[in-house]
């Protein structure tokens, strides 16, 4: 199977500007979470995606509301880029009843069915099988939709990942597997966890297209995703896209972690230099498609949105005590009970 990047044809200027806005939006929302996390009002484990904004933005630029997205524990960017309700996401982090999971899930259980964000869950690879099941249903019902599943390099070590890939390949399902390879699973580097072969090479073992590229370059992500999305919509089957990227914060929480010793601070600095937001902004400024005045406008709009989301969350009530036993299988009252 082909594992090279497709011939380059840049996204239209309007799409590139929209992607810039979305990259910056995810970054500023994440920075606000980082700034406020220490207040200890967000009581859930929170995996920050700063440094990894380009994959969701470049992929979601090709998706319709009716397409489905699944994610894992580091899911804020995926949720936001798919059109998830930001007020409801921040309220979920604050454990409020207005949260997207009614305040019961926290950062690792985001969901917004109206936006086609089917859910995130922290059990590695758990959502991969569910996403493939949904893609199978889409195909059986002859729906014009596709499913995108995001996960990290660590999830590719789970049996469920390979089973799901196999089935997607056998049934030629409309599904795109997006692996954000940030080189570490918690504090363990990739080279001591997997044999010396690339993750995208696993695609050929499961009879699908493998693609690989720079996950910090939203233009490149956009092109790779275009190939995979067109394939899926044409009924030509699944793809695995491996995107090289890097998380700039600690595994879980708002802090830097260069002091821990598992990553060379020089490596962290080198990836910070490859910032997906600043790099794209510089290219757009250079081409004249973006101006300083436009940046100021966009930043102003996003700041207002972020302030409003945190105000909404903090003004919202906590779930009522009776909610403790609703939506609990098998005995609680609630939907389906």
Ligand X SMILES: Cc1ncc(C[n+]2csc(CCOP(=O)(O)OP(=O)(O)O)c2C)c(N)n1
> Which residues contribute to the site for ligand X (CB under 6 A)?
73-74, 122-124, 151-155, 182, 184-186, 251
Pick from 132, 137, 139: nearest CA to 175 = 132
Supply the minimum distance, in Å, between the C-beta of residue 327 and ligand X: 22
Q: Which is nearer to ligand X, 194 or 326 (CB)?
A: 194
Q: Which is nearer to ligand X, 132 or 290 (CB)?
A: 132
Q: Which is nearer to ligand X, 56 or 152 (CB)?
A: 152
> Dihedral of the CA atoms 225, 231, 233, 234 (nearest 10)?
160
Q: Which is nearer to ligand X, 145 or 263 (CB)?
A: 263
Supply the minimum distance, in Å, between the C-beta of residue 57 and ligand X: 16
Supply the minimum distance, in Å, between the C-beta of residue 88 and ligand X: 22
d(CA 265, CA 133): 41
Pick from 236, 240, 180, 229: nearest CA to 67 = 229
d(CA 46, CA 42): 9
CA distances to 46, 71, 267 from 253, rounded to whole Å, are 5, 18, 20
| Nearest residue relative to ligand X (C-beta) | 152
Supply the minimum distance, in Å, between the C-beta of residue 55 and ligand X: 11
Q: Which is nearer to ligand X, 78 or 231 (CB)?
A: 78
Query: What secondary structure does DSSP assign to 47-97, as a single string?
Result: ---TT--HHHHHHHTT--TTSEEEE-SS-HHHHHHTT--HHHHHHHHTT-T
d(CA 80, CA 107): 12
Q: Are 248 and 34 in contact (CB under 8 A)?
A: no
Supply the minimum distance, in Å, between the C-beta of residue 139 and ligand X: 27
Supply the minimum distance, in Å, between the C-beta of residue 182 and ligand X: 5
Q: Which is nearer to ligand X, 145 or 251 (CB)?
A: 251
Classified as helix, coil or strand, 119 is strand
Supply the minimum distance, in Å, between the C-beta of residue 138 and ligand X: 25
d(CA 122, CA 221): 24
Q: Which is nearer to ligand X, 241 or 284 (CB)?
A: 241
Q: Are 273 and 216 in contact (CB under 8 A)?
A: no
d(CA 73, CA 152): 9
Supply the minimum distance, in Å, between the C-beta of residue 251 and ligand X: 6
Q: Which is nearer to ligand X, 220 or 242 (CB)?
A: 242
Instruction: Give backbone dihedrals phi and psi of 211, rounded to 5 degrees, phi first.
Output: -130, 150
d(CA 271, CA 3): 24
């Amino acid at each position: 199977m082909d594992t090279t990047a497709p011939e380059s044809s840049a996204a239209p200027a309007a799409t590139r500007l929209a992607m810039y806005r979305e990259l910056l939006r995810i970054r500023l929302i994440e920075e606000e979470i980082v700034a406020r996390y220490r207040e200890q009002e967000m009581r859930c484990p929170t995996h920050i995606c700063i440094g990894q904004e380009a994959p969701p933005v470049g992929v979601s630029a090709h998706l319709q509301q009716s397409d489905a997205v699944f994610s894992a524990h580091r899911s804020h960017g995926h949720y936001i880029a798919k059109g998830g309700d930001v007020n409801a996401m921040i309220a979920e982090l604050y454990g409020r009843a207005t949260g997207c999971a009614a305040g019961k899930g926290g950062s690792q259980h985001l969901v917004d069915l109206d936006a086609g964000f089917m859910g995130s869950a922290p059990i590695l690879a758990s959502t991969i099988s569910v996403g493939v099941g949904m893609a199978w249903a889409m195909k059986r019902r002859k729906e014009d939709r596709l499913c995108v599943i995001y996960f990290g390099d660590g999830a590719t070590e789970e049996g469920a990942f390979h089973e799901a890939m196999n089935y997607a390949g056998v049934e030629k399902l409309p599904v795109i597997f997006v692996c954000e390879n940030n080189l570490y699973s918690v504090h363990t580097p990739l080279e001591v966890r997997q044999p010396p072969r690339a993750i995208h090479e696993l695609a050929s073992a499961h009879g699908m297209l493998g693609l690989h590229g720079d996950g910090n370059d939203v233009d490149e992500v956009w092109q790779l995703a275009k190939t995979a999305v067109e394939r899926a919509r044409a009924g030509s089957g699944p793809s695995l896209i491996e995107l090289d990227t890097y998380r700039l914060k600690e595994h879980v929480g708002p802090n830097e972690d260069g002091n821990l010793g598992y990553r060379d601070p020089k490596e962290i600095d080198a990836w910070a230099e490859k910032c997906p937001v600043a790099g794209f902004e510089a290219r757009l400024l250079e081409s004249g498609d973006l101006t300083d005045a436009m940046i100021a406008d966009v930043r102003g709009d996003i700041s207002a949105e972020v302030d409003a989301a945190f105000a909404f969350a903090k003004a919202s009530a906590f779930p009522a005590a009776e909610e403790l036993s609703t939506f609990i299988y098998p005995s609680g009252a609630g939907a389906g009970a």
